[in-house]
Structure 1
Amino acid sequence: MRKLTKVVNIGKVKIGGNNSIAVQSMTNTDTRDIKKTIEQIAKLQNAGCDIIRVAIPDIDAANALKEIKKKVNIPIVADIHFNYKLAIEAINNGADKIRINPGNIGGTDKIKIVVDAAKGKNIPIRVGVNSGSLEKDMLFKYGGLTKEAIVESALKNVSLLEKFGFYDIVISIKTSNVPLTIDSYNFISEKVNYPLHLGITEAGTLFSGTIKSSIGIGTLLYMGIGDTIRVSLTGDPVDEVKVGRQILKSLGLLNEGVEIISCPTCGRTKINLINLVKEVEERTKNIKKHIKIAVMGCAVNGPGEAKEADIGIAGGIGEGLIFKHGQIYKKVPEEFLLDEFIKEIQSLLEEDHK
């Protein structure tokens, strides 16, 4: 059962409550390079990203937001560290949300200025606390990096906003340690009703980062915790979106697009299954409707083990079987199998559309 949190609007996207889990990513372009940033945002949006964060390291980056916002129609979060003036400029230039750590942008007077500006534009603030920015007094109090230290730090920062009557808050408490992140989010979910943004910070490369993020984010979502997610990978941020959406699909939290079932191959496989799966994935990647496709290596693992698929193929010697809902539909020579399979997928989609 998903924990229902407060609904917060980030531009046109609603998070919290019964709203869908939003997939986020972050540009890795220089925000001051308006053209490249817009181009990357378009790629991320095409990949299925719901909310995009951009770095605001200086005033030029904050001013660039104004031009970027004119060319995109996806909510943009401004990532701010230390300088409250950058938060103000980002808000004035159209940011749909700002991400700050209230404790590191100055005294309460500066926090109030940021809060008043956010209130004036009706935009939320994400309080971001991670293991690398935890206050020394918290580490000393709890004898190191613990869930108690992380959560107390987050709640302390949240209270700085609540003090001035601000409650459009989203919280993130990421660490690079998967069990600690899970424990911390579980702990804070019992204490607040604000939407939680999930992620494993500095997760690593596409390979290792995908595994760590899938375990951490997936576990929390399965526990009913979390309202937005970001898979942090060292590489192309488009991959972050792909992995994030796949995590949601795997848990049944995103019922759109293609879900591919494929076997791991074995000595019975008499067809180039690895290439076949890659081709099917590539040629079906733009399908928006939810459809389950099976690509199996032989008749043993075909219609039987993949009978829950809407449509599938099973390889044979020089030919393949196309099956629908576990029932064999036709045999096709191997050289025509892929093209014929794609035709049948399109036909199935057209039938469902009627």
Structure 2
Amino acid sequence: MTTSPSDLTPRRRPTRTISLGKVAMGGAHPVRVQSMTNTDTRDAEATLAQVARLAEAGCEFVRLAVPDETSAAVLPQIQAAAPVPLIADIHFDHRLALRALEAGLQGLRINPGNIGAKANVDRVVDAAKAHGACIRIGVNGGSLEKELLRQYGGATPEAMVASALGHAALLEQRGFDNFKISLKSSSVPRTVAAYRLLAEKLDCPLHIGITEAGTLLRGAVKSGVGLGILLWEGLGDTLRVSLTADPVLEVRAAWEILRSLGLRQRGPEIISCPTCGRTEIDLQDLAEEVERRLDGVTEVFTVAVMGCVVNGPGEAREADIGLAGGRDCGLIFRRGEILRKVRGRDDLLPEFLRELDAFLAERRATRTLNPEP
């Protein structure tokens, strides 16, 4: 039995389409990448600087914490200069949600159950309608309603889904359907099970993530496993990789997860071998320097940095450009064809970087002459 190309790409779960400002999500739209600032929102300058860095890294919308009136007061200033749509993260005080919408923010992340009486929910939904804003119902396994914890015996997937359905009903009863739902837990199995259950009950887009995933390595691994499972099953229309780290790294990790499943591409893919006893060059430094040189490049292509001739042009023949190291020398190749041999360890990296710059210049010249339709 032959594997078809369609078997190698996740089949997206059909959902209705919603919008956050000019960014559409769900339906046939690509999985969107988001992150959250970790600056003090009251410091508008620092927050805007971080939003700009996130946008440059490929973040398509950014969430901001709005915990008090002081932070709400600077939202118009932040919104006016933001390069991507913004989402206000609101808890407990529905008036802050109203202030965020008045400031022009295109999205809210709320838990309808913790902003007070139904009248407060009405005010927020009416304001979201009037401003054309999107709402994310954010259910977190660590903050479920007490009655649901009692009913289900803890923060089970079923309890999380029951919470989400109850909150969704509050919005739907008010004729509001421009919303998505997240069901986050620090447990990968619990999170996956909850999303599977919810996907059987509603057609709204899903925002996926593993909350409190951890520091850079642990959090990226945990998120990669959880989000990878969900995305492969077609679940997830927007995502955040939650890391105890610079949020720009969240965005980079998100793109790598999407790239690994063939869902989206942005920037070059760098492949490098894990090294072994045959390796006779400092491959780690080489690979890291190539990665640094390509930081910020958005063109899509593949670069191979290989440690020996065994893993060189042969195994990396599909790479657009690459190098393979050897004893006191190295090979530079394109699409499996050797361009030249470089002698001397000290010359290999500079020569390869020059070849890489020439490759990029050719790519950009071709793109200028033949722009995409």
The interval holding the TM-score normalised by the smaller chain is: over 0.9
Letter of the structure 1 residue corresponding to residue 102 of structure 2: N
Determine the structure 1 residue equivalent to 2:87. 77
Task: Find the aligned partners of 1:318 and 1:169 in 2 and give their Cα distance.
Answer: 59
- Report how far residue 103 of structure 1 moved: 0.9
Percent of residue pairs identical: 52
Matched, 1:130 2:132: no
Determine the structure 1 residue equivalent to 2:353. 342
Aligned match for 1:99, one of 97, 104, 109: 109
Letter of the structure 2 residue corresponding to residue 344 of structure 1: E
Mapping of residues 125-204 of structure 1, within 5 Å: 125-204=135-214
Which stretch of structure 1 is more off in the superposition, 50-59 or 14-23? Answer: 14-23
CA deviation string 1:66-121 (max 9, x = no partner): 00011112110000001111111111011110010001111111111110000000
- Report how far residue 133 of structure 1 moved: 1.2
3-state SS of paired residue (1:261): strand
Matched, 1:257 2:257: no
CA deviation string 1:276-324 (max 9, x = no partner): 0000000012221111111000000111211221111100111100111
Task: Find the aligned partners of 2:290 and 2:176 in 1 and give their Cα distance.
Answer: 49
Task: Find the aligned partners of 1:14 and 1:340 in 2 and give their Cα distance.
Answer: 44
Matched, 1:33 2:43: yes
Task: Find the aligned partners of 1:253 and 1:350 in 2 and give their Cα distance.
Answer: 27
Letter of the structure 2 residue corresponding to residue 252 of structure 1: G
The answer to whether the Cα contact below 8 Å between 1:258 and 1:285 also exists between their aligned partners in 2 is: no
The answer to whether the Cα contact below 8 Å between 2:86 and 2:105 also exists between their aligned partners in 1 is: yes
The answer to whether the Cα contact below 8 Å between 1:273 and 1:296 also exists between their aligned partners in 2 is: yes
Letter of the structure 2 residue corresponding to residue 18 of structure 1: A
Letter of the structure 2 residue corresponding to residue 237 of structure 1: P
Determine the structure 2 residue equivalent to 1:247. 257
Aligned length: 354
- Report how far residue 256 of structure 1 moved: 2.3
3-state SS of paired residue (2:74): helix
Aligned match for 2:322, one of 312, 316, 339: 312
Task: Structure 1: state its 5+ residue gaps.
Answer: none
The runs of at least 4 aligned residues of structure 1 exceeding 4 Å deviation read none
Letter of the structure 2 residue corresponding to residue 180 of structure 1: R
Determine the structure 1 residue equivalent to 2:241. 231
3-state SS of paired residue (1:335): helix
CA deviation string 1:177-211 (max 9, x = no partner): 00110111111111111111110011111111111
Matched, 1:219 2:229: yes
Which stretch of structure 1 is more off in the superposition, 142-151 or 334-343? Answer: 334-343
CA deviation string 1:31-61 (max 9, x = no partner): 1111111111111111111110000101121
Give me the TM-score of the superposition, normalised by structure 2: 0.92
Aligned match for 1:19, one of 25, 29, 40: 29
Task: Find the aligned partners of 1:165 and 1:178 in 2 and give their Cα distance.
Answer: 33
- Report how far residue 220 of structure 1 moved: 0.6
Task: Find the aligned partners of 1:244 and 1:134 in 2 and give their Cα distance.
Answer: 27
The answer to whether the Cα contact below 8 Å between 2:55 and 2:83 also exists between their aligned partners in 1 is: no
Task: Find the aligned partners of 2:65 and 2:139 in 1 and give their Cα distance.
Answer: 16
Task: Find the aligned partners of 1:351 and 1:190 in 2 and give their Cα distance.
Answer: 48
Matched, 1:63 2:73: yes
Task: Find the aligned partners of 1:234 and 1:346 in 2 and give their Cα distance.
Answer: 34
- Report how far residue 130 of structure 1 moved: 0.5
Aligned match for 1:328, one of 338, 348, 364: 338
Determine the structure 1 residue equivalent to 2:128. 118
Which stretch of structure 1 is more off in the superposition, 75-84 or 142-151? Answer: 142-151
Determine the structure 2 residue equivalent to 1:280. 290
Letter of the structure 1 residue corresponding to residue 310 of structure 2: V
Give me the TM-score of the superposition, normalised by structure 1: 0.97
